[in-house]
Amino acid sequence: MKLALNTKAILWVAFFTALGLSFNAHATPPDAVAGKVKAQACFACHGENGIGISPEIPNLAAQPPLSLTYQLIQFRGQQRKGGAMETLAMTLSDQDMRDIAAYYSSLPPPPAKSGNADKIAKGGQIASAQYCNSCHGPQLQGQKHIARLAGQSQDYLVTQLKNIRSGARIDMDGTMGSAARGLSDEDIDVLAVYAASLN
């Protein structure tokens, strides 16, 4: 028996198994070129450039690949629902998800959006006070399985923060649920304006 232990992979497998999610960690490396072909079905909403065509559709461009894969697994497992994504993800294999994630993550990040300067400043203060940056990255650019918030659609961010706060959107390891619980509607509003203003 070969004991080529990849601790990180094992931890992820344990994590997903504990949650009842299936994911095959041993597969061909992600292929962004194949991913682009497989992502044709996504372009109608998320764009070929990874920019959502309307405010309720998230930008996928430059999101960390693991975050994209992780969300697709949640949709496929019906743990997360919204925007018919749970139906769309049903047809995707683990390899499809990895390839599509490689494609979207390789694209240039969405442009920063201008917004009310007071709200941007307030949002920045709340983000540091609440340590959003400690998980989502100094410029909220995302990392590992944690989503990029920089340049994300403001409306989408507000919806997701409210859903995570109420528990309507599950939060797999509990960390984001705790982070959202103490936020007021006003906090959420300014945080979304701040995040959208970053690039």
Point out which residues bind ligand HEC (CB under 6 A). 39, 41-42, 44-46, 56-58, 60, 68, 71-72, 82-85, 88, 100, 127, 130-132, 134-136, 146-147, 149, 157, 159-161, 171-173, 175-176, 179, 183, 191
Residue 118 or 183: which CB sits closer to ligand HEC?
183
How many angstroms separate the CA atoms of 19 and 87, rounded?
Answer: 20
Smallest distance, ligand HEC to C-beta of residue 105, A: 10
Sequence-distant (≥ 6) Cβ neighbours of residue 160 within 8 angstroms: 169
Which is nearer to ligand HEC, 107 or 179 (by Cβ)? 179
Instruction: Report how far Cα 8 is from the mean position of its chain's Cα atoms.
Output: 20
* Nearer to ligand HEC among residue 25 and residue 90 (C-beta): 90
Contacts of 114 (CB under 8 A, 6+ apart): 197
Q: Any idea how long the chain is?
A: 199
Q: How many CB atoms lie within 10 A of CB 71?
A: 21
Write down the least CB distance from residue 171 to ligand HEC, Å. 4
Give the nearest distance from C-beta 78 to ligand HEC in angstroms.
Answer: 13
The distance of closest approach from Cβ of residue 133 to ligand HEC in the complex, given in angstroms and rounded to an integer, is 8
The residue (of 71 and 141) whose beta carbon lies closer to ligand HEC is 71
**Min dist. Cβ of residue 89 to ligand HEC (A):** 7
Closer to ligand HEC by Cβ: residue 3 or 185: 185
